[in-house]
Structure 1
Amino acid sequence: MSFNPLTEKGIPLDRQIRNWRELDVEPIDPDDADPYTKCRIITMNAIEVESVFFCHHLNRFCTDRAIREQLAHSRYIEQQQQKVVNWLLPGTQSVLETTISYEQQAVDLTAWLARNEPDPYLKQSYDFGVLEDFDHLYRYANLYEIIEHRQAEKIVDGLTEVMPGRPTKWEHRHPVDNVRDPYDKDSVDPRSKLHTLTLVAAEQQVMNLYMNVGPLAMEPIARRLYQEIALIEEEHVTHYESLMDPRESWWERLVLHEYNECYLYYSFMQQEPDPKVRAIWELHLNMELEHLRLAADLMRRLDGRDPEEIVPRGIPETVVFEPNKAYLRELLNTQIDLTTLGAGYVREAHERFQRMQETIHGGQEPPSEQVIEEHRVRFGGHDYRLQTEGEHPDPRLQQRPVTARA
């Protein structure tokens, strides 16, 4: 039988607060850890941050003191979970190394969700976004070698290719063209709600990271690149969050948040090779089961509806971090020249897109192009790439058909 979070018992809420010793987790080894362990940590940090933010917003609109007290209790636990998860990342890892792991996470998480998304419009939205994260990974990999004289292979370990996606300079669109059509909450597959919520949380966390670490960089090219890509991440958050049905009630969304946390902790517990990290996924899952039970009770009481109406009755296919090279190369072959127009996708550089390009770039090459040129100047005319299957599939972006230098 499949695992059903709505029927499983978790740890009672009054037994979930941990002391300092329990919160002081040992970070992973940046050199020996599985790159996808880092990706799972980054994902669950994003999920916990989104849960906390959502619960704060709900608290601001809730008039019932008893409910606000319950939300405060569970939100405090979510904050402790976020601290434990995010503190698994090693302090010896540089900001740029963390950034590359963030982009690897964005690429392979989005690609997996797209591959497994049952709704064609949502799938297209994920396919569109992943080619842009793919390009961000390439730009930061070049910056990493310029500044730290190391190669992204050290971080991604060949699991994710590093090469151009949809060029970042083409990703600057008029804000109105980042707003997608929402799914219909009453007819969409429940898995789609979880996929969308996961991507909203993940992209929001990338946006938040770049907003905060960008101005702390010393090198001018790094400051400029973080600034440019942080603006694209704002577009991505709008892109994904607009897919959510605004008619969903506060209590529906609370249940979706809690169910999604159970779904992802359960998924990652199944594949995590590090026993200490896996134990944290298991502990947090058992905490989240209780949070979900409490949220489900609120939905039944305040919406008069059963949570089984909006979420899967059992955990769907578990989310897996794995290489997506063939899938991404097919997208590069077929979708690299897409842009958005209203809620749709087009290949023509329409007037609003061209006007935005002229405005944002001001007749100059943006930082995402400057970083590649600077790399070529410093490294004998070459950009940094890590390709495992020959030439770049799109000849318009072919610079050199070789793997990363030793």
Structure 2
Amino acid sequence: MFNPLEHRGIPLERQIRNWRELSVEPIDPELVDPYTRCRIIALNGIEVEAVNCTHQLIRFCDSDEVRRQLAYVSYVESQQQRVVNWLLPGINSPLEVTLGYEQTAVDLTAWVARNEPDPYLKQAYEFGVLEDFDHLYRYANLYEMVERRKAEKVVDQLTEVMPGRPTTMHHRHPYDEVRDHYDRDTTDVRSKLHALTILAAEQQVMNYYMNVGPHYMEPIARQLYQEISLIEQEHVTHYETLLDPRETWWERQVLHEYNECYLYYSFMQQESDPRIKAIWELHLQMELAHLQQACEHLRRFDGREPEQIVGTDGLPEAVRFEPNKAYLRELIATQVDLTKLGNGYVREAHERFREFQERIHGGEKPPNERVIDEHRAEFGREYRIETEGPHPVRELREPAEVRRG
């Protein structure tokens, strides 16, 4: 088992790259494995989250020596983020990138949910993935309307495109987005890494939609991006509140760097493109040195060893991008009618939920429903990719509530 704590990596002073080294050739969207695109999107979000965390830490650190060290690593991480993000090709439209973002969110979150050891955290991921799944369906219909192309060219039938939990029902009172956090002292390190990973991915989706939405001229496109970007804001709250707020800055920094090592190592194992795999290998060697510095800061300021945070067993089972069709169909059949109340989940529309629905929709059809209506009016059908048989029919169940122990 690979243990990042036992490796020094590339020395920090050798990690600054020049323009030629940063100018990477983008992937060919016609030839690339769609999951290579997903790995690029996921790691871009991971790097952005790491940079943001370091910038926040710099603002709260009162040691100039340490702030200089953090500034150096932040610069290197920013170079890494640009290399990763610039692997995406400029010939893809924002909607094509959006489909890749939603495929990433669906299959990454589904894998995490399947492998999450904590039942409450597992439920949080299962709840969220059904909403990203529905977003993919809405954007696929918009894609055919606006660009006259089909989403199967992007997702390659690895991920089905069909309704999940209806996007209309994703708008909830912000109070109900706050989850119970894990316990930093007793929670499995896998759970901590999962939480950071999905938070980073959802945050990146939120930021992307906020920025590209206004660039469209078509009113329905602008409105759909606006609506779903607000839901992604809810998702960020949903996932960030899973983190234990008692974790210190230095502890969280170790977890971020350890998680970057985890994901670069995981994707390096699975990557089918030799050129992209070499980038993951290089970045892993760089992250190992970042982790060593974070561990030194933990020892200096918290008086703790990194093994107290991440354990001694090395990295967990590698994260994989793979189809999750049967798993998602089971979730649709059993959980599509869940909503939130307080820190738990319920199957009944409670008063606060109904009031917020009335407030946000204002008695009108929201963009996510109008895009399907407009697609049906234009093409005589909605756009779907179903490869495993007809859409699952949900079993009717008694109202239930799921809470943390």
**Does TM-score exceed 0.5, indicating one fold?**
yes
Task: Give the superposition deviation at 1:312.
Answer: 3.9
4+ residue segments displaced more than 6 Å: none
Aligned partners of 2:267 and 2:319 also within 8 Å: yes
Residues of 1 paired with 2:316 and 2:302: CA distance?
Answer: 25
Task: Give the superposition deviation at 1:301.
Answer: 1.1
Residue of structure 1 equivalent to 2:75: 76
Residue of structure 1 equivalent to 2:223: 224
Matches within 5 A, 1:342-381: 342-380=342-380
Residue of structure 1 equivalent to 2:328: 328
Residues of 2 paired with 1:160 and 1:312: CA distance?
Answer: 34
Secondary structure at the residue paired with 1:310? helix
Q: Per-residue CA shift, 1:291-348, capped at 9, x if unaligned?
A: 0000001101110111111114301100000000000000000000000000000000
Residue of structure 2 equivalent to 1:29: 28
Task: Give the superposition deviation at 1:394.
Answer: 2.6
| Paired AA for residue 217 in structure 1 | Y
Residues of 1 paired with 2:137 and 2:310: CA distance?
Answer: 36
Secondary structure at the residue paired with 2:43? helix
**Structure 1 residues 178, 281: CA separation in 2 closer, same or farther (over 3 Å shift)?**
same
Residues of 2 paired with 1:332 and 1:295: CA distance?
Answer: 41
Residues of 1 paired with 2:328 and 2:394: CA distance?
Answer: 15
Residue of structure 2 equivalent to 1:340: 340
Task: Output the TM-score relative to the length of structure 1.
Answer: 0.96
Q: Does 1:59 align with 2:58?
A: yes
Q: Per-residue CA shift, 1:359-379, capped at 9, x if unaligned?
A: 000011100000000000000
Residues of 1 paired with 2:243 and 2:311: CA distance?
Answer: 17
Task: Give the superposition deviation at 1:389.
Answer: 1.1
Residues of 1 paired with 2:72 and 2:363: CA distance?
Answer: 53
Residue of structure 2 equivalent to 1:153: 152
Task: Output the TM-score relative to the length of structure 2.
Answer: 0.97
Task: Give the superposition deviation at 1:395.
Answer: 6.2
Matches within 5 A, 1:12-51: 12-51=11-50
Aligned partners of 1:191 and 1:312 also within 8 Å: no
Residue of structure 1 equivalent to 2:193: 194
Residues of 2 paired with 1:390 and 1:219: CA distance?
Answer: 34
Residues of 1 paired with 2:394 and 2:2: CA distance?
Answer: 46
- Structure 2: 5+ residue runs without aligned partners? 396-405
Task: Give the superposition deviation at 1:9.
Answer: 1.9
Residue of structure 2 equivalent to 1:392: 391
Residue of structure 2 equivalent to 1:166: 165
| Paired AA for residue 369 in structure 1 | E
Secondary structure at the residue paired with 1:372? helix
Q: Per-residue CA shift, 1:17-48, capped at 9, x if unaligned?
A: 00000000000001110000000000000000
Residue of structure 2 equivalent to 1:276: 275
Residues of 2 paired with 1:213 and 1:308: CA distance?
Answer: 42
Residues of 1 paired with 2:311 and 2:159: CA distance?
Answer: 31
Q: Does 1:308 align with 2:307?
A: yes
Residue of structure 1 equivalent to 2:401: none
Residues of 1 paired with 2:299 and 2:394: CA distance?
Answer: 56
Aligned partners of 2:334 and 2:394 also within 8 Å: no
Residue of structure 1 equivalent to 2:403: none
Q: Does 1:98 align with 2:92?
A: no
